[in-house]
Structure 1
Amino acid sequence: MSQRIHLNPNAQRQQPMMGMQGGGYTPDPISRPSNSTSYGNGSSDDLLGKVQAYTSKIEDLIEAYTQPIRPYVPAMARFLIVVTFLEDALRILTQWSDQLWYLQKHRHFPWGLSHLFLLINVFAMLGGSLGVIGKKFPDYSVFCLLGVVVAQGLGYGLLFDLSFFLRNLSVIGGLLMVLSDSLQNKKKLFAGLPSLSETDRRKYFQLAGRILLIFLFIGFIFQGSWSFARVIVSIVGLGACIMVAVGFKAKWSATFLVVLLSVFNVFINNWWSVHSAHPQRDFLKYDFFQTLSIVGGLLLLVNIGPGGFSVDEKKKVSQV
Structure 2
Amino acid sequence: MSSRISINRTGGHSYNPDPNGLGNTRPSAGYRSANPDDPLEKLRAFSKQLEDNVEILAQPLRPHLPAIGRFLIVVTFLEDALRITTQWSDQLWYLQVHRKFPWGLSHFFLLLNVLTMLTGSVAVILKRYTEYSVAGLLSVVIIQGFGYGLIFDLNFFLRNLSVIGGLFMVFSDSMVSRKSNFAGLPSFSETDRRKYFLLAGRILLIFLFLGFMIQGTWSIGRVFVSIIGLAACAMVAVGFKAKWSASFLVIVLSIFNVFINNWWSVHSAHPTRDFLKYDFFQTLSIVGGLILLVNMGPGGLSVDEKKKTY
For the superposition of Structure 1 and Structure 2, which TM-score range results when normalised by the shorter chain? 0.7 to 0.9
Q: Look up the equivalent residue of 1:144 and give its one-letter code.
A: G
Deviation beyond 4 Å, 4+ runs, structure 1: 42-45, 190-193
Q: Look up the equivalent residue of 1:115 and give its one-letter code.
A: H
Matching of residue 189 in structure 1 with residue 185 in structure 2 = no
Matching of residue 145 in structure 1 with residue 127 in structure 2 = no
User: Counterpart of 1:260?
Assistant: 252
Q: Look up the equivalent residue of 1:72 and give its one-letter code.
A: H
**3-state SS in 2 of match to 1:317:** coil
Distance in structure 2 (CA, Å) of the matches to 1:187 and 1:103 = 41
Q: Look up the equivalent residue of 2:179 and give its one-letter code.
A: L
Deviating more after overlay: 42-51 vs 248-257: 42-51
Which residue among 270, 278, 303 is the counterpart of 1:311?
303
Q: Relative to 1, partners in 2 of residues 1:105 and 1:44: Cα closer, same or farther, differing over 3 Å?
A: farther
**3-state SS in 2 of match to 1:282:** helix
Q: Relative to 1, partners in 2 of residues 1:282 and 1:191: Cα closer, same or farther, differing over 3 Å?
A: closer
Distance in structure 1 (CA, Å) of the matches to 2:101 and 2:284 = 31
TM superposition score normalised by structure 2: 0.86
Distance in structure 2 (CA, Å) of the matches to 1:280 and 1:213 = 25
Q: Relative to 1, partners in 2 of residues 1:225 and 1:112: Cα closer, same or farther, differing over 3 Å?
A: same
User: Counterpart of 1:52?
Assistant: 44
Q: Look up the equivalent residue of 2:54 and give its one-letter code.
A: I
Distance in structure 2 (CA, Å) of the matches to 1:189 and 1:260 = 41
Matching of residue 285 in structure 1 with residue 277 in structure 2 = yes
**3-state SS in 1 of match to 2:188:** coil
Which residue among 222, 227, 235 is the counterpart of 1:235?
227
Distance in structure 2 (CA, Å) of the matches to 1:201 and 1:156 = 33
Instruction: Please say if residues 170 and 294 of structure 1, whose CA atoms lie closer than 8 Å, have aligned partners that are also in contact.
Output: yes
Q: Look up the equivalent residue of 2:273 and give its one-letter code.
A: R
Distance in structure 2 (CA, Å) of the matches to 1:51 and 1:255 = 18
TM superposition score normalised by structure 1: 0.83
Q: Relative to 1, partners in 2 of residues 1:192 and 1:124: Cα closer, same or farther, differing over 3 Å?
A: closer
Q: Look up the equivalent residue of 1:147 and give its one-letter code.
A: S
Q: Structure 1: state its 5+ residue gaps.
A: 1-41
What CA deviation, in whole Å up to 9, does each residue of 1:128-153 have, x standing for no partner? 10111000000000010000000000
Q: Relative to 1, partners in 2 of residues 1:56 and 1:100: Cα closer, same or farther, differing over 3 Å?
A: same
Higher helix share: 1
Matching of residue 100 in structure 1 with residue 80 in structure 2 = no
What CA deviation, in whole Å up to 9, does each residue of 1:269-319 have, x standing for no partner? 00000000000100000000000000000000000000101000001122x
User: Counterpart of 1:219?
Assistant: 211
Once the two structures are TM-superposed, the CA of residue 47 in structure 1 deviates from its matched residue by: 2.8
User: Counterpart of 1:245?
Assistant: 237
Count of residue correspondences: 275
Instruction: Please say if residues 189 and 198 of structure 1, whose CA atoms lie closer than 8 Å, have aligned partners that are also in contact.
Output: no
